[in-house]
Every structure is written in structure tokens, then in C-alpha cells.
């Protein structure tokens, strides 16, 4: 593991996909794939491919030295290529010549970043699917678990925890779909020095764009049909998908953090040995997963904005600094969001729901939590007159359900409002709107994600 | 016109779509549409709709007073509703009752913001289409206009201005498509106080979600099938589309600014009376359109990030501050990007291309601009030996085409490289790769945008 | 009032300092001050000053038209100057000539922005001082009000509300000092077209920099001794001070929002007629001031970052877009933070503290809230052995104070721990560390802000 | 070297100050310093200090394992402390007990971050001082090197390169001062679990705050007199200083990039073996240092904004995610800006100035570059009449100096404008305003930085 990961707890979860070794591997994969593409074009033979492929394992390269030498040319492709070419040249001068032929360093670096993205998005999508599965279970199980619906921090109307979980599920489902679509559209970069594919065209006249397509195929990336050296949509679209996923996770984590405060006690993180320990308070169990997910959600918008700033500052046929600002930012964003995804999966798989405490707070909220319904119901009565004002007066005082019942009973004849109807009016479990339908819809969309489509 | 527009030159272009009056109008449109939806559900009659619709014009309301009174309840819906209800109540108590019935202020505000977005995106898409048309013309016209391709600010290989324009066109085409798709997906908000549609369900049992769909239809918004009070994807997706559009425009503006520097002189902004004047330098003609577009591109990523930050901080069933941070940010982003779109249209429609100066710089760059080709060509010759090193040495010294020709001629027999081939090698107009194919592809995509699909 | 203020509830509070009229007035003030500076240099006489000053009132200019015409030259100075010169020329051609002589539009616009900042910071500082006064009262009054100290949302140790208020006070005091220092250092801009003061030097050879100093004096701005056309420290320093102030306010608002949730009920916003009303829930009282302050705190970092991005992208002797991105951003930041300052003043002046509820939660937390102390105390006992483990076991189970007392009493002889000492150990009001000293220090710093120094 | 440094070329320059090992070392330094502070308070003896100090070297700990185990408790302090305590306990149980006694993990982590900042700022200040020295030399040497002053990318008036260098110097001098002041004010964190120093107060009644001061002394940090667990000014102030420094460097880098474009050719980066090489264009020499510095300047505002966002979201006595988002962000910002500082030092020490090319562009600009002066001069002549209009007409046509001279000579009698005066009017080297004074002032401020004050 490399990186400032000491200060990013949880980074280990996806470090193997995003650390410096993973980037080196992706860079090597691009160089190898390009030689394979040349073989498909008849430019080199299998032996050349073998020699190059044999030099294509990150383990054979010294990351630190390449990083250090990268400054000189402004990017790590040059020193890596030098080392790779040396390794290859020992076995075949043809292979050394074919290596990188016709490409520019941006082709390799951009394609490698897309490759890193592709691999990380795969893992992230798996985590999100697992989180969605957990949420589907919670939404269904807690259809009848009444809790306080809160707006601006204050009690508003009753909802169910099932509805809340369905809301989370809807957002996570969107994220699964978007992450999947983003992964499928990550494009190869192949334009040569200035995006005209001039050198490639000289190598294989009339087949340069086919060569680009072959490179995409070898790497499992999409073929955009044109270079995007200074049209950075592929980077910002990937970044935006990551930030949106982080937003979704942040919302859930914030809700868990609030609802697991001891004074609320409606939710709790899964218990794991040592998890949430404090350096000095032995009994304390901190909601660490949510805290760390939330920290990623706080960070992500800024990283996404940086990718846009870089895109907006693109110039010429290759940018003079804006491009360079993207690299580690995109990888950092991928690393942070994917590890948070893994944490979210774990959080939701073991989330503890305290239905009793939820109901307790509904009861504490009293009839005020039904004020919307009560006022509307009373207004429609023939004898309404000043009942609504008196009712609101009582509610503002925080009157009990009994007091409110007494007021209504004393002012509305039973022929207009039977005792049963009155009881129903005052029962929070009967003022849940279309919660059940919304849960059904969320479950339906979740099911449609398809099992075949999963990791 | 309202807003800090004095300090946003160009804001007047789309101010009527995004200023406070436009927002008031959108808020009123939502309230009126909701009463129309109630009519479709049989809850009110045509007379009620008429009375409400008659009170639905922004001109009848005092924007400043509503803005001031908005603080008390935390948003402008409450005071506007109070005034609208007063206006309506004079004619019909039924109408006053039907107004806003079952909605929450977030339903109205969110739907109104989507309406403002919808209207602004329509105008923006029109500007982008016009800009794309201009670019298509430039790309086609300048297929043969050779210029220096630049990377990291330095001369690299020759390209054509047609290829550069095609690159811009590709990005603008993406923006047209994305803005169109975004406009088509902007959703209505309709969830009631806590997203359960409880009050609406009480009004029209079993038809609450149909009511939401009817509201969407009335407003020309899409129907998301669920409330999104604290699932802010619709806002961030719209914001991201705006920022990506700004990125695309910023790239073009930066290129124009660079290429219209007097030492380059390859492009110039269209001339317009008074445009680009200086307060003290009478002859100066500043590239004002590009400058202002670039300023929007610098700003947009930060506004987009703020929308994500707000989304990531959503909590409960309505957020306690995060939601409030979105409103003017989204509208500001819409206002800025749409006015820049209008400026871009004007910029590109009249862009002046100086092909002579472009060619001049290619010639100034000398044979070094063909180094990639020359070295590759020489390497493949049977007598290569140390020619490549000598050639690179000459190129590093900035040798003239004649000197380079002499070297090659003296070292390579004509049977291996004829005079004609040598001349071709040294001719920058023959090292343009697949520029023409890339231009064709960009034009093809542009044509596919479809004339029927235009404003 | 102008601006997208409809969507910024609370903006009315300081709108007169930051709206378009205020900016126009500041621009005019700079032009008038420059003519006064010319009088001090003997270039013009009193009559000229009078004529120019008579044309120096914003009310005489049409904001909308100037905003619209501002695009042509890229900023609003040119059209305003045209109108002002026309107005002046009717009375004196000397005055018309003296107007703006030797300045560039950036001199006027930058100086005007600093003037707007200066005026707004004055108001903001007043609000912060009043907020600090309120906090000083709360800190002192609640020295003995024990409450739960919370970390990561969970109960940790007891603190007092006085300590929490002192913490807020310390941060607000920092903000007062910083806002004051920033206001005192806002510099005039005076460099002419390229920062060499060439035209001014031609007007008053050898006295150009004195002219700049005179302009600063007339405007009450500081004199930086050099132009800063593309050295944007003055803008970013002002912006950073605003963002830091917003951070401080955001922390307080978030705490109030959390602690005024009904399940906590430890704090409440001041009650005001109509404040916090809901569109449908009659009894609801939303913590609107805190919500709106928090929304500003969420927004401010992004506006501050934009100012830095613009500063970082400065080029040449005047920037080609980066400068333009600053204007409305700085003013928006000033407007948002100053109105939040006014809200904070009101929030803290009437903040309601529920000491009973605070104590109630301390009691609910049980002896676990003293675990740090208990474990440390037990560890030091000669008979420690396995007492700590047993104690921690009990605490993890959420045992009552009685249970914990019983354990300790049964295992530790009274000669090592008297009953009185044991009771003290279990009393949360005796484990407050140096809270009182920290409160004293905060109050001392607050007093040192000095009454003479206040608005 | 650790970190995503492969993708941050140049990071190696200051990696030893900011990588994971450096952070571990700082964490250990805080734990050791705290035991030293306890010795000063008489709580432990020298032997304990020795044992703890012996366990205080980062090399003895496995960074990767600690990073991985850090998730469980939410930060790396816990696992590091566990390992350190094991190491210490082998030699002394007293030492194991004294370790971390009374502190909370935030005390250690925050203090360690300040320590990392302190060390990095020291190196950065050295680089900036060296850069300032180089700039002072350039400013003085190029007092007479006339070049085009450019605004909005267009030629405006002549300046000297000395003035431009003096402008850069002024900004770098500000940065030196600010970085120095920031370094001097970095505070220790010492508040215990909830900022009341309760456990420390129990350890040393009445001396808890003195203990905090002792910890500060041991670490060479300042003593803030109060904990700042959720008052994050120290972090944002440090971050803002870094971003401002990046802004200053970004401006210089952007100017170098523009002026070293081949069509301008006024500046060039220092030549170094292999520096600026291209993967395919052998003769190309990319301005790599400037490119990489610019990329840091593009990135920094976003990292700074994230620190503010975290500060603004602080809650309770320790934040639930906002704090966690700061750690790696601050370190990344320190790492990026300090390595850019080192690059800037190298860039400026060897910057190549092409005075001939500068003068060439002034001449190319023709008399239009003096339009401000010419129009002002002509307006003051008794026979002005329509000369200004005719003059402007000529200038707009891009007339030569000869043509303009002819016009003026033909229209103004020599008694009003001698031939000598006319020649002077048309000589760009005599319209430089107070450039020399501004250079002197910049040099004076630079000298005042003081040699004793240097690294």
C-alpha cells in the first residue's frame, strides 16, 4: 500500500486498485495492449508480443525511482518507458522499436487512468449492489416501523423506517446504474502527439483509427472515435459519477450518525471487534464507518471541482498544467469513493434498527406530529368555525393526544366524526401516505438491476 | 434585470430567464399547475382554476417585499403564497383553499427551480446549436488551413485549423446532447411535508402519485415516480451538465485568447461597434467575449461543487441548510452558463481566421515540427546507422529545412529515398494524419443533431 | 434591493451595502476621490471638484442600462464613466477632462470593490461584536450548567455549556480581530494601464505614487505602495477572512441545530412573531436563523476558492478572465457573510438554554461518561488488579451509577478510597477540568476587544 | 517515498517531510514530547523519558499495518499507540502508563499535523527566499529591458522586465512573510477528550494548562492557550497561507509559460539534462517546471476550500467526519505547495531572459503602444482641434511610427512641440512611469527580509 493512506482510514480496502503499483500496472497494460494491436494489424509477430508482455508486470519496476525521474519529462510515462524498453531490448530490438511506436505519452497516461477507473468502478459497483441488497431488505422489513419524519431537524409527520430505507435505496440504485454506465463508457485515448494520429497513420496508412479501436478492445475500454487530449469530458464525467455516488453515501452516513446519537438511539452501526474504540474511553463505541464515509462525502465535491477546473483550462493540443492536475486527483477520488463504498456495504449489511426507540419518539412528539391532518380534517367539517384555531392553540402548547381528543370530541358531534374515526385521526400509523407504494417502487427498481448483472 | 448583474457583464443576455421575477413566475406557475392538477382529479372546477390562474402573473407581486419577508419562514414560498391566497380569496374561498393544498414549500420551490432550469436550458441549447453550426462551417472550410499543433505551449506537429474546429465541435456537440437530455429529465417535486404524500393521499386516496404525475404534465417536467427532497441527484445532474458545458466553452475561449494575442494573430474576435474598447487606449480591441466566457468557465466548477456539497450534506426528510444553499447557486450557474452560451454563439459566428499567419508560424517552426516523422522515416532506412542522431542534433539547433534536406540527401541514396519522397517528408501539409476523417466524423455527428430538433 | 435575493433569505439585512447601487456608488466615489486627489496636487480647483462631486450620486444613474452596456468593454466602468462625463461636461469641460485622467478601469473597479468590502466589513464587525457580547454573557452565566460533551456524536465526558459558549466566543473573537485587521488593510488600486503609473507620472512627474496615496486617503483605504493588478492577495485575503468568519458561524449554527432537535432540546432559537413558520404545519417552529447561517457556511468555502482560482490564474499586466470572475464573487461573499453575521447576532442575543434538559442527558449517560476518570483512578490504587477490567465490563453494559459504586466499594477498602472520595469520583460536576479557567480566558480576550473599538 | 506520488511529478522534492513516515514520526514526536512534559512536571523520571524516546523512531514501526489498522478506531493514533506501548512496556511499565496519559487521539493527531506543517513550511520558506533572491537580481538587472505590457492578452503600454520581476518579487516577498508568520503561529493541540483537560487536570491539579504549554515548548509549536478541537482556524489559516503561496507561484508560472511560447520567445526555462524531454519529439524542450507549478496552483484552491468546508461543518466537541477530511488534505496541500516552491526556486535561479525578443515585440507593436501618451499629449496642445481623432484613426489602422510622426509634425508647429520632444513622445523607453521606483521599493522590501532570518 502506498499513498497518504495513513491519514485515510479505510483506504486499504481498495488500495490495490488505485495505488502507485496499480497505476504502473495500468501504464504497462496500455503499452502491451498497443503492441498486441500492432500484431492484429500485422506489424509485429507473436514473438514480439511475448517479449513485450513479459516486461509488462509492475513488480519488475521500481515505483519510487520512476516517480522521482518523472519530473524531468513532466510525467511518469517517459522513465517507465525507458526501463521497459531496456528490458525488452535485451530480447528483441523489433520489440523495443514497436513499443510505444506512434503513441504520445498522453495516450498512455490517459488510457491508463481510464483503466484504473474501470477496475475501481467494477469494485465500487459491487459494493453498491451489496448495499442496495441490504437496503432492499431493510425497506421491506420495516414497512411498518413508524418513526418521526424530520424536517430542518424538527419533527414533522410520521414516516416509516421502511420509507427512509427505500429513499436511500432509490439513490443507491441510481448510483449503481450511473457507475455501471460510466464504467462502460470509459474511452481509450489514442491520438498521437497532437490528436491527428499522424505517426500511426504513417505506420498503417488508412488504418489509424482502426488501430485506436483495436487498442480499446485490448484494454476493454470504449472507443470514442476521436482523441480527447484537450476535451476532458471523459475525465469529468467519471469524476461527476464518483462525486454523485459520494453524495448518496454521505446522505446515508449523516442520517446514521444523527439517528445513532444516544439521545435518538434509533440506529446503530454493526458491532465489530475493536471497531469504534476510543483511545481513552473504554466503553465508547464510535460510529466509525459512518464518520469515515461522511468524510469522503465532504471531500469528494472539491476533487470533482478540480477536475472541472482542469477541463475548463484546457488549451491547445495538450494543456500546460491543467492536464497534470487531473491525474492524482482522479485517482484519489476513485480511491476515496470506492473505499467508502466498501464501508457502506458493511455498514448497511449490519445496521441495527431500534424500532422501539423510533416509536417512542413518535409518541413523544404527540398529536402535533399529526397537525397537518388534524387541521385539514377539522376544516372540512360543517361546524368548523373556530375549531381549527383552538386546535392549533392546543398543538402549539404541546398538548397531549388526550387533550386534543377531548377538544375535538367536545366540539364535533359523533355523527360528523365517529369515535372510531377520531381515534384513527389521532393514530400516527394511519397517516403514512403512499409510503408502501414508494417502497414497492424502490424494491421493483432494485430487482430490475438484475442478478446476472452482478459481480 | 435584477442580481449582481452589474458585475457580470453579459448577464443581460439571459436575465429574463433567471432573475428574481423569473423565479417568482416559476413559483406561481407551480401553484397554478397544482390547482389544474386538482381539476383533472375532479377536486375543483374550472372557475377555481380561472381564479387561481388570474393571480398567477409575477407582475402582480412585489418581488422586494417577498424577498424580505422570506427570511421569517426560511424561504420565499410562504410570503408569496400569503399574497397569492389573499388575491385569490377575494374571488373564491374554494380557490383559496385549493391553493397549495397538500403540498409543502419544498415541492413548490424545487419544482420552480426545475422550471427555471428547463427554460434556461432551452435557450442555452439553442445557443450551443448555433455555435455548433458555426463550428461545422469552420471545420469544413479550414480542412486545408495548416497551423502549428501545440503541446505544453510549444510547437509539436502541424495540424489544420479545421481539425481544431472539429475538436471544438465534438465537445460542443456533446454539450448540446447533454443539455438536451438534462432538460428532458428535469423532474417535478411532489412529496408533501416528509415525502410520503400523506396530505395528498388524504385528499385523493389512492391517487396521490397520479396527482404528482399530473403536476409534472402541467409543468412540462418529467415525473420521477418518487420525491427527492433529500436525494439531490436532479440538482447535481443539472449542475454538472452546466459545468461541463462551461468547461467546453472555456476551452474554446482560452484557445481564442491565446491565438488572438498579437504575437500569434491567428484568430480574432468578430468586430462590433464599441466592443472591446478600453477606457484609455483608443486603438485597443480587447477579446471581450472570450474573456467573459473564460471567466464563467473559471467560476462554474465552484458553483457545481457547492451543489454537490449541499447534496452530500442532505439529512432527514428535509435538510437543515444544505437545501437552502442550492437555490441561488443553481440559478446563478444557469444564468452564467446560458449568457456565456449566447456569447459563444456570437463569438464563433464571426470568428476571424488568419490562415496566412497560421502558415507563417508553421514555417517559422521549421523542420523541427516534423521531427517525429523524420526520425521515424530515417530509422526505417537500411543505412540508418547514426543518421537519426545527426538529424536530431540538427533539429535541436533549430536548423532550416534546407540544412535538414542537405543532411538527408547527402546520407541517403536516392534509390532508398527519392527527391520527391524527401520533399514530401519535409512538407508539413502532408503530415496531418487522419485530420480529414476526424473532421468528417465531427460533421457527421453535427448533422445528426437534426434540424427538426432545433429551436 | 437587487440580486438573486429572493433565493437568499436574509440578504435584505445588508443588501444596501452590497447591491448593484452600492457598487455604482463605490465606483462613483472612486472617480470623485481621484479628482479630489488631483486638487491636492494642484491640478484642478475646487470648482472642478464640486462639479464632479455633484455627479457622484448613484441615484442619478440607471443601473440596469449600465449593466447592459458593460459587456461591450468587458466591465461597468466604461459606460458609467461615459454617463458621468456627460453629466459633468455640461458644467465644466475641465472637470470632464480631469475625470478618470491617468487611471485605468481596473484602478476604479478594484478600488470600488475594496470600498464595498470596507463598508460591509464595518457592519459585519459590529454584528460579530454583538454576538461576542451575547456569548460572553452565556459563557459566564452557564459556568455551572453541566451538559454532555460529545465526540463523533457520542457522549464522551461532561462539560459545561459555559465552556461550549466560551469555545464559540474564542472563535468569534478571532473573527472580530481578523475582520477588523482585514478592513484596515484593504488597499487602493492605482497603477494605470499596466501598473507603471505612466500616465499619472506624465500628469504629475515625480508625484505619481503620492497621487496614489492621496487617492487612498480620500477613500479611507490603505496605501499598498504598489499596484496589484495581477497580484491578487488583497482580494484573496479579504475572501479568506470572510470564509473563516463563515466557518466560525457555521460551527455555532450546526451546534444550535443539533442541540435544538426535540430529542435533545438543550437549546432553542429566540422566538419571534412568524419566525420559523411552516407552510402546512401550524405548530412547527423551525430554527430558521441557524439554518440560513449554516447555508452560508456551506456556500462560503466555494466562493473563497473561486477567488483563489482567479488569483492563481492571473497573467500579464491584467488577466484575461480571471480578474472578471472575482467581482461578483467577492461581493456575493461579502453579502452572504455579512447577512449571516446579522442573523448570528440575533440568534445569540436570544438563545434559549435549557439547563434541565442538559443535566438530564448527563444523568442518562450514567457513569460511562466518567469512564476515563474512573479507570484512571482505579488503576492508581494499590489493589488495582483486575478491577479496571471489571469496571470497564460494567460500563460497557451501561450499568447504573449505583452498580458501579457497589463494585468499587466492594473491591476497594475505604482507607484507600473514602465514601466521600468515591461519591466525588462518580459526580460529573467535579470532572470538568479547567473549564472555568478557559471561560475566564475567553472573557478576558473578549473584554480586551475594547469598548472604544466598537461600532 | 509513499503517496500517489507517481502522478505528482516533483513530489520527491519534499516527500521526506510529508509522506506517511514523516507523519508517523510526527505522531511519535508528540507522544515523546508529552512524556518529556510530564517529566518537567515531576510526574516521571528521566528513565521513563529515555525508554519512551527510544521507542520514538518511525523506522521501528510498520506504516502499512498501522494504516490498515487505523480504520477500526477511525484514526492511526490508536494502532500506533498500541505498538508503541508494547515496545515501551517491555522496558518499563511506568513508561507504558505515562504514555499518552491524559491526552486524546485528537491532541496527538492535530499536534502532529502542525508539526508536519512546521517542518514543511520551513523548507518552503527557504525555497521562497531563494526565489526572491533570484527575482531581486532579475528586477535590478532588467530595469532597462523594455517589453510589451499586456492586458487581456493584448499589447497595452511598454513596461520593463525589471518591473514585471519586481511585481513577482513583491508577491513572493508577501508569501515569505506569510509563510514565516504561519509557521511561527502553528499551535499545539492539548485538550483531552472534550477540550476541558479534565484528565490532565486530574493528573496535575492546577497545572493542566501549564502542561499544555510545556508540550508546545517541547515540540516548538506555539501555545494557543485553549484547545481548538472544533475551532479549526489553525488548520484553515495554514491552508490559506499555502493556497496564497500557490497563487503567487501560479501567476509566475503562467507568465513564464506564455512568454516562453515560441511566438513570443521572451523567456525560457533553465536548461537541464533531460528536462522537458518528449516521448516522441526529440528536439522538444517543454517548460516542465512551470507546467508542474501551474498544476499545483490549479489544485491548491480546491484543497484549501475543503479545509474550510471541514471547519464550517465542525460540531460538538469533536466532529463526526469533518475533522477526518482535513488530515490528508492538509498534508497533500503542504506536499504540493512545498515541492512547487522548490521547483520555483530552480526555475527562477536559471530563468533565461531574451531582451532582444522583448524589444522586438515593442517595436512590432508600433506607436499604438504609446497611444495613451500621444493622445494625452496632443489634447493639451493649443491647436488640438481634430488632431486627436486623426491620430486615433491612424493608430487604429496600425500606422508606423513614421506615419504618426509625420501627422504630428505636419499639424503641430515646432514651437509647441520641438523635434526632440516629438521623438521622445514616440520613444517607448521614455514612457515607463515610475517603474524604477517600484523596483526600488520591491528590492528594499526584499532586503528587509534579512539575512539572519534565512535558512
Report whether pLDDT(C2) > 50.
no
Asked if C15 and C5 count as a contact pair (C-beta separation under 8 A), the reply is yes
Residues of chain C positioned with their CB less than 8 A from the CB of A152: 286-288, 291
Asked if B161 and B438 count as a contact pair (C-beta separation under 8 A), the reply is no
Q: Does C264 reach chain A within 8 Å, measured CB to CB? A: yes
pLDDT tens digits, one per residue of D314-328: 999 999 999 999 999
Asked if B259 and C288 count as a contact pair (C-beta separation under 8 A), the reply is no
> Which of C434, C437, C441, C443 should one mutate to test binding to chain D, selecting the residue with the greatest count of D CBs within 10 A?
C434
Closest Cα partner for C151 from D110, D104, A347, D109?
D104
Report whether pLDDT(D274) > 90.
no
- CB environment B285-300: b (16+ within 10 A), e (fewer): bbbbbbbbbbbbbbbb
Read off the C-alpha cell for B152. Answer: 505544453
pLDDT tens digits, one per residue of C394-426: 999 999 999 999 999 999 999 999 999 999 999
Q: Looking at CA atoms only, how far is residue D153 from chain B in angstroms?
A: 6
Closest Cα partner for B403 from B411, B414, B394, B412?
B394
Question: Do residue A260 and residue C153 have CB atoms under 8 angstroms apart?
Answer: yes
Report whether pLDDT(C4) > 60.
no
Closest Cα partner for D331 from A5, A364, B353?
A5
Helix axes of A288-312 and B233-259: crossing angle, nearest 10 degrees: 30
Give Cα separations from A303 to A241, A244, D295, D423 (angstroms).
12, 12, 14, 56
Q: What is the mean pLDDT of each run of 10 residues along chain B (455 residues)?
A: 74 95 98 98 98 98 94 95 97 96 97 98 98 98 98 97 98 98 98 98 97 98 98 98 98 98 97 81 90 98 98 98 98 98 98 98 96 91 84 92 95 93 96 98 93 52
**Which of D74, D309, D335 is closest, CB to CB, to A292?**
D74
Give the residue-averaged pLDDT of D229-244.
98
Report whether pLDDT(C212) > 70.
yes
Report whether pLDDT(D284) > 90.
no
Helix axes of A161-185 and A105-141: crossing angle, nearest 10 degrees: 160
Question: Which residues 6+ apart lie within 8 Å of B387 measured at CB?
Answer: B378, B381, B407, B408, B411, B412
pLDDT confidence band for A5 (50 / 70 / 90): confident
Residue in B closest to D278 by C-alpha? B156
- CA B323 to CA B302: how far, in whole Å? 17
Residues of chain C positioned with their CB less than 8 A from the CB of A298: none
**Which of D196, D258, D372 is closest, CB to CB, to C163?**
D196
Question: Which residues 6+ apart lie within 8 Å of B337 measured at CB?
Answer: B124, B242, B243, B245, B246, B249, B296, B300
pLDDT at residue B283, rounded to an integer: 80
pLDDT tens digits, one per residue of D118-157: 999 999 999 999 999 999 999 999 999 999 999 999 999 9
- CA A124 to CA C377: how far, in whole Å? 47
Report whether pLDDT(D385) > 80.
no
Asked if B173 and B132 count as a contact pair (C-beta separation under 8 A), the reply is yes
Report whether pLDDT(C83) > 70.
yes
What's the sign of the alpha-carbon dihedral D229, D230, D236, D237? negative
Q: Does B281 reach chain D within 8 Å, measured CB to CB? A: yes
Question: Which residues 6+ apart lie within 8 Å of C175 measured at CB?
Answer: C128, C244, C245, C248, C249
Closest Cα partner for B3 from C244, C28, C108, C70?
C70
Backbone angles phi, psi at D151, to 5 degrees: -130, 135
- CA B149 to CA C303: how far, in whole Å? 35
Q: How many CB atoms lie within 10 A of CB D394?
A: 21
Q: How many CB atoms lie within 10 A of CB C406?
A: 13
Q: Looking at CA atoms only, how far is residue D9 from chain A in angstroms?
A: 4
Asked if C305 and C210 count as a contact pair (C-beta separation under 8 A), the reply is no
Report whether pLDDT(A442) > 70.
yes
| Residue keyed to cell 396527482 | B211
pLDDT at residue B268, rounded to an integer: 97
Residue in C closest to A368 by C-alpha? C283
- Catalytic residue, chosen from D285, D318, D411, D441, is D318
Closest Cα partner for B405 from B418, B415, C265?
B418
DSSP code of residue C318 = B
Q: How many CB atoms lie within 10 A of CB A179?
A: 27
pLDDT confidence band for A311 (50 / 70 / 90): very high
Question: Which residues 6+ apart lie within 8 Å of D332 measured at CB?
Answer: A4, D303
pLDDT at residue A419, rounded to an integer: 96
Asked if D113 and D330 count as a contact pair (C-beta separation under 8 A), the reply is yes
Residue ranges of domains in chain C, CATH in brackets: 1-101 (1.10.275.10), 358-430 (no CATH)
pLDDT at residue C335, rounded to an integer: 97
pLDDT tens digits, one per residue of C258-270: 999 999 999 999 9
Q: Does D270 reach chain A within 8 Å, measured CB to CB? A: no
Give the rounded percent of residues in chain C with a pLDDT score beyond 90: 90
Mean of per-residue pLDDT scores for chain A: 95
Catalytic, A232? Answer no
pLDDT tens digits, one per residue of D336-358: 999 999 999 999 999 999 999 99
Give the residue-averaged pLDDT of D63-87.
96
Backbone angles phi, psi at D266, to 5 degrees: -90, -25
> Which of A10, A246, A321 should one mutate to test binding to chain D, selecting the residue with the greatest count of D CBs within 10 A?
A321
Asked if D170 and C231 count as a contact pair (C-beta separation under 8 A), the reply is yes
Closest Cα partner for B291 from B244, B249, B248, B263?
B249
Q: How many CB atoms lie within 10 A of CB A380?
A: 11
pLDDT confidence band for A156 (50 / 70 / 90): very high
Q: Does C169 reach chain D within 8 Å, measured CB to CB? A: no
Question: Do residue C1 and residue B313 have CB atoms under 8 angstroms apart?
Answer: no
pLDDT at residue A2, rounded to an integer: 45
Catalytic, A418? Answer no
Question: Which residues 6+ apart lie within 8 Å of C387 measured at CB?
Answer: C378, C381, C407, C408, C411, C412
Q: Kindly provide the ipTM of the predicted complex, given to two decimals.
A: 0.96
pLDDT at residue B29, rounded to an integer: 98
Give Cα separations from A358 to A162, A163, A259, A362, A363 (angstroms).
12, 13, 9, 7, 9
pLDDT at residue D454, rounded to an integer: 56
Overall size of chain C counted in residues = 455
- Catalytic residue, chosen from D57, D93, D196, D278, is D278
pLDDT at residue A455, rounded to an integer: 47
- CA D65 distance to own-chain centroid: 33
pLDDT at residue D1, rounded to an integer: 36
Question: Do residue D284 and residue B260 have CB atoms under 8 angstroms apart?
Answer: no
**Which of A151, A174, A315 is closest, CB to CB, to B317?**
A151
- CA D85 to CA D75: how far, in whole Å? 17
Q: Looking at CA atoms only, how far is residue B322 from chain A in angstroms?
A: 10
Backbone angles phi, psi at C126, to 5 degrees: -60, -45
Read off the C-alpha cell for B69. Answer: 419577508
pLDDT confidence band for C454 (50 / 70 / 90): low
Q: Which is higher by pLDDT, D272 or D53?
A: D53
Report whether pLDDT(C455) > 70.
no
pLDDT confidence band for C3 (50 / 70 / 90): low
pLDDT confidence band for C1 (50 / 70 / 90): very low
pLDDT at residue D379, rounded to an integer: 87
Residue in B closest to C261 by C-alpha? B320
Question: Do residue C281 and residue A371 have CB atoms under 8 angstroms apart?
Answer: yes
pLDDT at residue D4, rounded to an integer: 53
pLDDT confidence band for A4 (50 / 70 / 90): low
D52: helix, strand or coil: helix
Read off the C-alpha cell for B133. Answer: 453550426
- CA B370 distance to own-chain centroid: 36
Least confident of A34-48, A353-367, A376-390: A376-390
Closest Cα partner for C234 from B61, A22, D247?
D247
Identify the burial level of B349 via C-beta atoms within 10 angstroms of its C-beta, where 0-12 means exposed, 13-18 middle and 19 or more buried. middle
- CA B399 to CA C290: how far, in whole Å? 70
Amino acid at each position: 500500500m502506498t499513498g497518504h493512506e495513513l491519514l485515510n482510514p479505510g483506504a486499504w480496502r481498495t488500495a490495490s486498485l488505485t495505488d502507485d503499483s496499480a497505476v504502473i500496472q495500468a501504464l504497462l497494460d496500455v503499452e502491451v495492449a498497443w503492441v498486441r494491436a500492432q500484431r492484429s494489424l500485422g506489424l509485429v509477430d507473436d514473438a514480439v508480443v511475448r517479449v513485450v508482455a513479459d516486461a509488462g508486470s509492475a513488480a519488475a519496476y521500481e515505483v519510487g525511482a520512476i516517480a522521482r525521474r518523472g519530473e524531468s519529462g513532466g510525467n511518469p510515462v517517459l522513465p517507465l518507458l525507458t526501463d521497459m524498453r531496456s528490458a525488452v531490448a535485451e530480447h528483441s530490438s523489433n520489440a523495443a522499436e514497436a513499443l510505444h511506436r506512434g503513441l504520445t505519452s498522453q495516450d498512455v497516461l490517459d488510457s491508463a487512468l481510464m483503466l484504473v477507473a474501470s477496475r475501481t468502478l467494477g469494485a465500487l459497483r459491487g459494493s453498491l449492489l451489496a448495499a442496495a441488497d441490504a437496503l432492499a431488505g431493510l425497506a421491506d422489513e420495516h414497512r411498518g416501523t413508524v418513526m418521526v419524519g424530520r424536517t430542518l431537524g424538527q419533527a414533522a409527520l410520521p414516516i416509516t423506517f421502511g420509507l427512509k430505507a427505500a429513499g436511500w435505496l432509490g439513490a443507491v440504485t441510481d448510483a449503481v446504474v450511473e457507475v455501471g454506465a460510466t464504467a462502460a463508457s470509459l474511452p481509450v485515448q489514442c491520438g498521437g502527439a497532437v490528436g491527428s494520429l499522424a505517426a500511426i497513420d504513417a505506420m498503417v496508412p488508412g488504418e489509424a483509427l482502426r488501430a485506436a479501436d483495436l487498442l480499446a478492445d485490448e484494454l476493454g475500454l470504449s472507443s470514442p472515435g476521436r482523441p480527447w487530449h484537450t476535451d476532458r469530458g471523459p475525465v469529468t464525467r467519471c469524476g461527476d459519477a464518483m462525486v454523485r455516488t459520494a453524495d448518496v453515501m454521505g446522505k446515508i452516513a449523516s442520517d446514521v450518525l444523527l439517528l445513532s446519537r444516544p439521545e435518538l438511539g434509533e440506529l446503530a452501526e454493526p458491532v465489530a471487534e475493536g471497531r469504534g474504540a476510543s483511545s481513552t474511553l473504554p466503553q465508547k463505541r464510535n460510529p466509525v464507518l459512518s464518520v469515515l464515509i461522511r468524510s469522503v462525502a465532504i471531500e469528494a465535491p472539491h476533487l470533482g471541482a478540480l477536475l472541472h477546473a482542469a477541463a475548463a483550462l484546457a488549451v491547445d493540443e495538450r494543456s500546460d498544467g491543467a492536464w497534470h492536475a487531473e491525474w492524482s486527483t482522479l485517482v484519489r477520488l476513485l480511491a476515496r469513493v470506492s473505499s467508502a463504498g466498501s464501508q457502506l456495504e458493511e455498514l448497511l449489511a449490519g445496521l441495527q434498527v431500534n424500532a422501539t426507540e423510533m416509536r417512542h419518539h413518535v409518541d413523544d412528539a404527540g398529536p402535533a406530529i399529526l397537525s397537518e391532518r388534524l387541521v385539514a380534517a377539522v376544516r372540512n367539517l360543517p361546524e368548523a368555525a373556530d375549531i381549527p384555531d383552538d386546535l392549533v392553540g392546543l398543538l402549539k402548547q404541546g398538548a397531549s393526544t388526550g387533550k386534543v381528543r377531548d377538544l375535538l370530541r367536545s366540539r364535533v358531534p359523533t355523527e360528523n366524526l365517529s369515535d372510531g374515526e377520531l381515534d384513527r385521526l389521532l393514530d400516527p400509523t394511519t397517516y403514512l401516505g403512499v409510503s408502501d407504494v414508494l417502497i414497492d417502487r424502490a424494491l421493483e427498481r432494485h430487482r430490475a438491476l438484475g442478478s446476472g448483472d452482478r459481480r
